[in-house]
A and B are shown apart, each in its own frame.
Chain A
C-alpha cells in the first residue's frame, strides 16, 4: 500500500480521534485530513467499525445482565459494613480519650437524654406508630423486583431434595436485616411488623443475599408470609417429585410469587385446606372473605 508512507497510519488516526496526539502532531494530522479524502474515509471507516463492534458487543451480552438495583443494594450494605468497621477502630480510640477527660459530664448528659426520650415516646408513641404502620403495610406483599430480583446458590434439585437439613433455613444476619429495611425505607420504629423473608426460599436454592430478601408483612394482608410458606412447600415437593424443574420453580417464585401461587394451587385466593398448613400459627392472618 502506498498509503503507509504518505498517509496517516491507522494507529495515528485512532489516537487522533481519541484526542491522544501531542498538539504538534495533532495539528499536522488535522491539516492532512483536511486535504486527504482517503484518510478521512479511512478514519470514518475505523470509527464506524468500532461503533458497530460496540453495538454488537452490548447487544450480545445485555440479555444476560441482571437488574442493577439488587447488586447496588448489596454494595451499599458492604460499604457500610466496611466503613463501620473502620469507624469502630478509629472511633473507639477517640471515645476513650474523650471519656477519660469528660467522663462525669458525659454520664449526666446521657441520663438526662434518656429521660427526655422516654417521656417523648410515652406522650407521642402509640398513636403515631399505628398510623404510619397502617399507611405503609401491605406495600410489599410482593418485593420490589428492582431491589429484590432473587438470588440463588448453585445447587441441583437432587441436592435440594436430598438432605433433611434442607429444611433448616439460615438465619439472616442482623446487619443484613437492617440493610433490607433501609433499602425499603422501613423506619427503625417499624421492623417488628415485618419478617425479612427469602424471595426464593433456601429450600429451593435461594441465597442469603440482600438481592433475595425483602420485608414481608407478618399479618393483616391476604397474601402474607404464611401463604408464601404454603407455596414454598408445594414447590419443593413438586421439584422433588420431578413435576417441575428447579430453575422453573425458582423463576416463578422470584418473578411473581402470588401469580405462582395461583398457578400451582389453581386458586385465585389462598387456600386453607393444605395439609402442610399449621393452623395454630395462622391466627388473624387468615384471609377475611
Chain B
C-alpha cells in the first residue's frame, strides 16, 4: 500500500466531522486576503480616532467578521474597502463613546517622531528640518475637526475619494471640500 499515516489523517473522512480542521472556503480566503491588505491601514486610522491598539485590533477583527457575513449573505461587493472602513469607524465611535474617559489619548508625536526618524536620514540638519515639518503638519491635522481628520487619514491610507465618501457617508463633493479646507490650513501653517 502506498499511503502514509499522515495522508490517512489528512483524508477528509478520517478527520473529525467538526469543521475546524477543514480547508478554508474561498470566501474565508478572500476575507483574509483583504485583511492582509487593509489591516495596518485600518488600524492606523483607528489610532487616529483615539483608540488604543488593543481596542483597534479587536475592532479590525470584528469588522472583517462582519464583512464575511456581509459577503456570505450575497450583499453588494461594490466598494468593499469603503465598506470596511465605514463599519470599523462606526464600531470605533461606539467604543470611544463607551469609554470616553480613558480613551481620549493625547499622542505625544513630538516625543515619538524624532526617534523614528533618526536612522532614516543621514544628514542631521535635513533630518531635523523634515522632522520639524512633519510634526508641524501633524499638529495642524490633530487640530482639525474630526471629519476633516478622517478624510485626510483615509487619503493617507491610500483610499480613493469615493471610498472615503462611502466610509463617512458623505458625498464626493464633501470629501473634496474637506480636503481642500484642510490643505489650505496646512499650507498656511507651512508658510507662517
Contact = CB atoms under 8 A, between A and B. Distances in A.
* Chains A and B bind each other: yes
A57 B112 contact: no
Interface string B153-171: 1011110111000000000
Contacts of B32: 72, 75-76, 79
B22 to A, nearest CB: 8
A276 interface: no
A65 B43 contact: yes
Contacts of B156: 50, 53-54, 57-58
Q: What secondary structure prevails in chain B residues at the interface with A?
A: helix
A14 interface: yes
Contact of A72 (B3, B36, B172): B36
Interface stretch (B74-82, B83-91, B174-182): B174-182
Contact of B138 (A10, A57, A175, A179): A57
Nearest to B2: A124
B106 interface: no
A53 B20 contact: no
A60 interface: yes
Given A11-B173, A15-B161, A188-B15, A76 B113 contact: no
Interface string B1-43: 1011110111001110011111011011001100110011001
B18 A79 contact: no
Contact of B65 (A20, A82, A128): A82
B6 A128 contact: yes
A12 B175 CA distance: 11
A132 B6 contact: yes
A123 to B, nearest CB: 7
A99 to B, nearest CB: 14
B155 A49 contact: no
* From B5, B43, B153, residue with most partner A Cβ within 10 Å: B5
Chain A contact patch, size range: 35 or more
B19 A87 contact: yes
Interface in A4-50: 9-12, 14-15, 18, 20, 45-46, 49-50
Q: What secondary structure prevails in chain A residues at the interface with B?
A: helix
Given A11-B180, A65-B40, A124-B5, A57 B109 contact: no
A160 to B, nearest CB: 17
A56 interface: yes
B92 interface: no
Interface in A95-143: 113, 117, 120-121, 123-125, 128-129, 132
Interface of B: 1, 3-6, 8-10, 13-15, 18-22, 24-25, 27-28, 31-32, 35-36, 39-40, 43-44, 47-48, 53-54, 57, 60-61, 64-65, 68-69, 72, 107, 109, 112-113, 116-117, 133-134, 137-138, 141, 152-153, 155-158, 160-162, 172-173, 176-177, 179-180, 183-184, 186-187, 190
Given A52-B137, A60-B107, 17 more contacts: A11-B176, A11-B179, A52-B133, A59-B117, A60-B109, A61-B43, A61-B44, A71-B39, A76-B28, A78-B65, A82-B69, A83-B24, A88-B19, A124-B1, A154-B54, A187-B6, A189-B5
13 contacts: A10-B176, A15-B161, A52-B137, A59-B116, A61-B48, A62-B40, A63-B112, A71-B39, A75-B32, A76-B32, A84-B22, A87-B19, A124-B5
Interface of A: 9-12, 14-15, 18, 20, 45-46, 49-50, 52-66, 68, 71-72, 74-76, 78-84, 86-88, 113, 117, 120-121, 123-125, 128-129, 132, 154, 175, 178-179, 182, 187-189
